[in-house]
Structure 1
């Protein structure tokens, strides 16, 4: 499927660069431990998005320690990964401690006179090489780093060649999880030397997705929409939106920063069920082993595949946590 190049913000790009370089269903206790740095996917009859499915008891647990690449920042949580597959799909279960579920990405707050727009979200990301990639297999995400400049605004993440591409799964607690998907995206080469964000591309979107809830005014912007059913909700679904009416707000009220709907197209290849409860996230992601899209990695049963992860707590820039080790997906 044709790739649609959608350049994201430099802040998000820096998040991945630093990462590379620098329902709460409980899993049955019988789940075995994994080999170091190896996520072993077990064969099952049929995969689901159920975090408490019985087959998780047979899937080895890989505990991935995460650290921060930024100075003077604390270390990150341990992310526990498990994987299973059937004749068509792979499913990955991720669990990590997080004291809050952050849903305030770019939320509008009305003080009675004017709006401010602040807030971040939690996220979990995976990166997969598309095709054979010896550099990534030996270096992991470091192979995508271009951060030698002392100016962080000149850092970028991607490949050195138009022939080398990466597939990314970018789950976001505020923008994608409420409608059940993970943003399917990727990295290519630096197509525009003046834009450090140009290697980051989002897979083709036919319809839907998350749309910034703003009128776009350069001075004193305001939301375009608000909820027609629950003015206190932090989530605004496209099906619930009504035209923004400032008269309905009181000082201290908030309006969600995005209008959400589940997209169609390659961007929605990774269906997701994420639940925050009891101080932790449990996120289950499922995707076809082979989507048939050229912008996605093909996960071939019996072929080991290197990958990397990053996780963030209420962050949208470089302040997030990563594993510095090369992780490998294997099959059982």
Structure 2
């Protein structure tokens, strides 16, 4: 593939990281006026597409990284938290005429894809593994995830980032109603929305997608689950692997054996005789979304204590609700703002950072370069 070349050596990256301090390392390129250079990501122009397979092909060497430390958690579960308490997220971006590509890489010593799995017991029965905390959420039997929140039109997000939509109950009350959750995401004003790309290692990764969602101003008495909603779906999507009696799994893979998820395309009716005590079977059946919820292509790979996640989305989406549910990269001369959260085997507890990250697009050609210099950048 042909790229507008940007050679980055390990020495240069180390120097950038030192200059920026331990928390943040800026991407290459001058930050726009008023933008924190330590939170500035440049999306570089590429003349070809990027394979979204989680393998970090050589094309990413042309995109300078931004390193963001996520080291804050919204709450401490009463059941304990055994995940990582901080990690550096490497973020890179490329774009072509029609798509935005992003790479996220972060350290996580454990691969977690067993979301509420079934385990066969010594007496022959099956138990779904759960250990919910006082807020009703899981911190032990879950999956690794990553979320990206994109600003659409929420006032204040450009500076404060995800903090703007995160609301914590005070003395058990949130927005005038009783609430035991550790926090809710919703925007303050009617008509304000955020775009959310929610990658899930057990539910969406096996089918090469992230869950395209959005946040609006819904409260508990609204049509959504507080402010979090999924984009419109015409079919497909993951579902719980449970039988009608809720005593065991309903499906297994045609390939047999235990696994942390079952692919919908390979599922067959569950056959208990194929399993022995101690065997584990996935608590979720993974199927690709159909419709606007399928807008975000994503594949992550875990290797040697590290996740590498690649994402692709059209610069402009046109499905139902896209004007309010999706960030639209219609003007590549303007900045766009986002935030990142990392989930280590948790349902809602996640590592996050303060303030918003600003992304700008590198133009296809750089003004002031003569013909030979332009050719060298191709």
Determine helix, strand or coil for the equivalent of 1:138: helix
**Do 1:29 and 1:57's aligned partners in 2 also have CA atoms closer than 8 Å?**
no
Listed as ranges, the gaps of 5+ residues in structure 1 are 1-26
Please list, as runs of the form range in 1=range in 2, the aligned pairs for 1:1-332 lying within 5 A after superposition.
29=9, 33=16, 34=27, 35-48=37-50, 49=52, 51-69=55-73, 70=75, 75-113=85-123, 114-118=125-129, 119-130=141-152, 132-151=153-172, 153=180, 155-193=183-221, 197-217=225-245, 221-292=247-318, 293-294=322-323, 295-299=325-329, 300-318=331-349, 320-332=350-362
Deviation at residue 330 of structure 1 after TM alignment: 1.2
Structure with bigger strand share is 1
**Do 1:183 and 1:270's aligned partners in 2 also have CA atoms closer than 8 Å?**
yes
Determine helix, strand or coil for the equivalent of 1:36: helix
Q: 1:194 to 1:216 in 2, by over 3 A?
A: farther
**Alpha-carbon RMSD:** 2.3
User: Please, which moves more after superposition, 152-161 or 53-62?
Assistant: 152-161
Deviation at residue 316 of structure 1 after TM alignment: 1.3
Structure 1 stretches of 4+ with a deviation exceeding 6 A read none
Task: Report which structure shows greater RCO (CA 8 Å, sep ≥6).
Answer: 1
The aligned residue for residue 176 of structure 2 is none
**1: CA distance, partners of 2:56 / 2:71:** 28
From the CA coordinates, give the structure whose radius of gyration is larger.
Answer: 2
**2: CA distance, partners of 1:264 / 1:170:** 16
Q: 1:206 to 1:168 in 2, by over 3 A?
A: same
Count how many residue pairs are aligned between Structure 1 and Structure 2: 302
| 1:187-206 deviations in Å (ceiling 9; x for gaps) | 11124338993321111121
**Do 2:8 and 2:64's aligned partners in 1 also have CA atoms closer than 8 Å?**
no
Give the structure-2-normalised TM-score: 0.74
Deviation at residue 134 of structure 1 after TM alignment: 3.6
Give the structure-1-normalised TM-score: 0.84
Deviation at residue 182 of structure 1 after TM alignment: 0.4
Determine helix, strand or coil for the equivalent of 2:113: coil
Listed as ranges, the gaps of 5+ residues in structure 2 are 1-6, 17-26, 28-36, 130-140, 173-178, 363-378
